[in-house]
Structure 1
Amino acid sequence: MRIVGGDWRGRRLAALGKGDPGAHLRPTSDRVREALFSMLDGGRFGDPIDGARVLDLFAGTGALGLEALSRGADHVTFVETGRVGQRLLAENIRTLDCAEACRVMKADATRLPPAEAACSLVFLDPPYGKGVGEKALAAALRAGWIAPGALVVWEEAAPQDAPGGFAPLDARRWGDTHVTLLRAT
């Protein structure tokens, strides 16, 4: 795994191989991240990355949030409960020397504490097929983590319907990865 664009383009991230099913770690491939960020940078959704406060739910290795930092986001809050994910995330933050722009929370993404500041860009990459994505979005909205008008990038095994408080924008598929884009209303 590597950062595919921005200031840290080409920098390697901690290796996880094909993932760790026991820890529900399934890193977003470089190819999917590159396609996703090209879509976000394309202007169709405004400029969601530059200067953004980002919330990375079910962060795992942190590749999505770190990619956003590399491309101009100001701050990322990573939410990850797993020991393996926490270790890899800490290693990646050290490797990129970006701790000042990061906050790592060991919290259940479906039961978040109140936010210090709302985020304008949300990455949601829950364990596939477990039905926790909608619960995590609802928890983040209730706790004030999601700003009005925020862009949500939801990665799952199948396209997702927009839950209450969100409007659908787009859906894409790359291999077995489905990405649903939502806007907080």
Structure 2
Amino acid sequence: MRIVGGRWRGKKLADVGDGDAKAHLRPTTDRVRENLFNLLTNGRAGDLVTGTRVLDVFAGTGALGLEALSRGAVQATFVDNGRAARTLLRENIALCAAQGLTKVFRKDVHQIGPARDACDLIFLDPPYGKSLGESALTVLSDNGWIAPGATVAWEEAHAPIVPAPFQVLDQRSYGQTTLTILRHP
């Protein structure tokens, strides 16, 4: 697994193999990540990454948030309650020398509490088939983590049920992965 674009392009991240099913680690493939960032940086809405504050929920290895930092995001907050994920996440932050640009919360997103600063770009990559994305969006919105006009990039096995008031901007499928780009009003 590597950073696919930006200032850290080609940087090799910690190896997780095929992931860890018990820890719900299922890294986003380089191909899907590259397509996601093409949508976010070259899509109809323009560059949705540069200058943003990023929230990477169900962060796992942190590859999505680190990719955003590599492409011009100014800060990334990572949330994952897994011990294995936290170890990989900290290793990947160190590999990118991004400690000053990141915050890590080892918490269940449903218990995260109020935000100090709202984020402009949210990556949501919950374990597939557990319906955690819908409730996570509601909790994040209710606790002020999502800024008005923020973009949400949601990765699931199928098209998710999008809660109000979020609006679908784009949706694409890549094999067994569906990417849904949302806008928060």
Same fold flag (TM > 0.5): yes
8 Å contact from structure 1 (residues 110, 132) kept in 2:
no
- Report the counterpart of residue 148 of structure 2 in structure 1: 148
Offset, 1:68:
0.1
Offset, 1:46:
2.7
Match runs of 1:15-26 below 5 Å: 15-26=15-26
- Report the counterpart of residue 165 of structure 1 in structure 2: 165
Q: Which contiguous aligned blocks of 4+ residues in structure 1 show a shift greater than 3 angstroms?
A: none
Residue type of the alignment partner of 1:71: R
- Report the counterpart of residue 54 of structure 1 in structure 2: 54
- Report the counterpart of residue 98 of structure 1 in structure 2: 98
**Residue aligned with 2:22, SS:** helix
Aligned length: 185
Instruction: Give percent identity, aligned residues only.
Output: 56
2:131 is aligned with 1:120: no
- Report the counterpart of residue 27 of structure 1 in structure 2: 27
Aligned-partner Cα distance in 2 for 1:33–1:67: 8
- Report the counterpart of residue 88 of structure 2 in structure 1: 88
> After superposition, what is the alpha-carbon deviation per residue over 1:62-88, rounded to whole angstroms, capped at 9, x for unaligned?
000000000000000000110000000
Residue type of the alignment partner of 1:78: F
**Residue aligned with 2:28, SS:** coil
8 Å contact from structure 2 (residues 134, 161) kept in 1:
no
Aligned-partner Cα distance in 2 for 1:76–1:67: 10
Offset, 1:111:
2.3
2:35 is aligned with 1:10: no
8 Å contact from structure 2 (residues 59, 79) kept in 1:
yes
8 Å contact from structure 1 (residues 122, 150) kept in 2:
yes
Offset, 1:107:
1.2
Residue type of the alignment partner of 2:5: G
Offset, 1:45:
2.0
**Residue aligned with 2:109, SS:** coil
TM-align CA RMSD? 0.8
Offset, 1:48:
1.1
> After superposition, what is the alpha-carbon deviation per residue over 1:4-53, rounded to whole angstroms, capped at 9, x for unaligned?
00000000000001111000000000011011111111141232100100
Aligned-partner Cα distance in 1 for 2:21–2:5: 27
